[in-house]
Structure 1
Amino acid sequence: MKTPLFDLSGRTALITGGGRGLGKDIAEIFAAYGANIAVCSRRIDNCQETVEALQSSYPIQAKAYACDISSEENVNDTVEAVLSDFGRVDILVNNSGATWGEKAEKMPLEAWRKVLDVNVTGTFLMSKAVGNQMIRNGYGKIINIGSVAGLKAEPANVLNAIGYSTSKAAVHHFTKDLARKWAEYGVTVNAIAPGFFETKMTKYVLEQSGDAIRQNNPMKKLGDPKSLQGTALFLASDASDFITGQVIAVDGGSSL
């Protein structure tokens, strides 16, 4: 009997920022399709809640870890712990992110550095730490969470966060470059660029400009968890084995 294209049974996924929002949604769909789940973030309490919910709903292993992905020591220790607990990591989702809303001419340097450290450096550090064992195993799926903000420049009244948009554009190119470098090792690297979804990170923007954002979207709506879950499952599964270095916009057409 052939293995279904989207079956993740026996595989282990590590999801950064998996305690809430889009990371939690991704953890849930992976678990529903059989993957064991490791989630990490700076706030382990959120991750623990995710783990408990997954374990009560699906017959999988799950564990939470505290990790500051902008710290190389923290990242390496966390990945070592996950490998010790699960044996391997087959799927990595670099979802942890930070933002800072401010006009470019007033953006504090420390805010710029914080956003870049989490969104870009954190993605690099986690990919490097997990990627080394993927290379040894000859298999791996890396999914980076970018943003439509890294594909197009939004007007200031919609999004005024130049550090965030710059960092996500960097994540998109990092995805392409790493995909080129690691294709020979059996590791695929792709990115999802979400449009506006209702999350804690977008709460303020949507409170201020939600109606305009909906009106400007070709589908006249915001993203829903199911939309992102389907794309993430596709990229984590055998269905995407011949796809690497791609940035898939999940945005209702807002980047067109």
Structure 2
Amino acid sequence: SLQWQANDLPVAGFTAWLHDRYLDTQQPLSMTGTDIIVFDVNTDQASAAANRFFIVFRENRPLPVTFVSTSSIRQRDESVLVKWVVASEQSITKYEVEKSSDGRDFTGIGQVRATGSPLEQAYTFTDSRAGKERIFYRVRAVEMDGRGQYSNITSVQALQMESAISVYPNPAQGKRVNLQTNLPEGQYRVRFISASGQVVYQSDIRVLSGRQAQVINLPGHMAAGTYQLQVQISGRSLETVPVFVQ
């Protein structure tokens, strides 16, 4: 925990804020008394960093803008639409959109010019290079003098990745395995691995591109049971799925 003790501070016209770099949060501190701040440390080294916390003194003044809402929505083409609604813009020149993969370290990806309207105003920005992973976004309102104010953080969930291989039907019937692949063009090796870890059968297949059906005829002497069907390229395993051979 941290203890903050305020002694002989210039109370009038100022406020004190404790910033947490690790959680990307801030909280007000008493200008006349004592505050105890409880925090957690985990296996992430950043949670125990010596510069995790810092204090900022701010001059009391009206907020240059009020963020009413901030949201992010993934589109059908996998891009992300970031939308924010503000009210009472005062001396705001632009909005900077930032993104992050972990919700802590953000990078700017674009700007939107402010309208300067005193009324409620909606803005949008499209991240056309969003990728498939979970992404965090925030918006920074920039004033004429360069000072900024951040919105709340919003995020979109990761897209579910389509499996590269699948077997149908499963259990496979009559030593015949129908393998559906969704792989780049290339030469692949298919291996059947027993419960004891032994490779009991392997075969090379050629994939042209995209979705493709492959038929693998297993040897008649292969015992019934559950196997791990593994697909390799250049000796490197790409994906493994269980298959039951009758």
TM-score range, shorter chain: under 0.3
Q: Which has the higher strand share?
A: 2
> Rg bigger for which structure?
2
Q: Which has the higher helix share?
A: 1
What is the TM-score of this pair, normalised by structure 1? 0.23
The structure whose RCO (Cα within 8 Å, separation 6+) is larger is 1
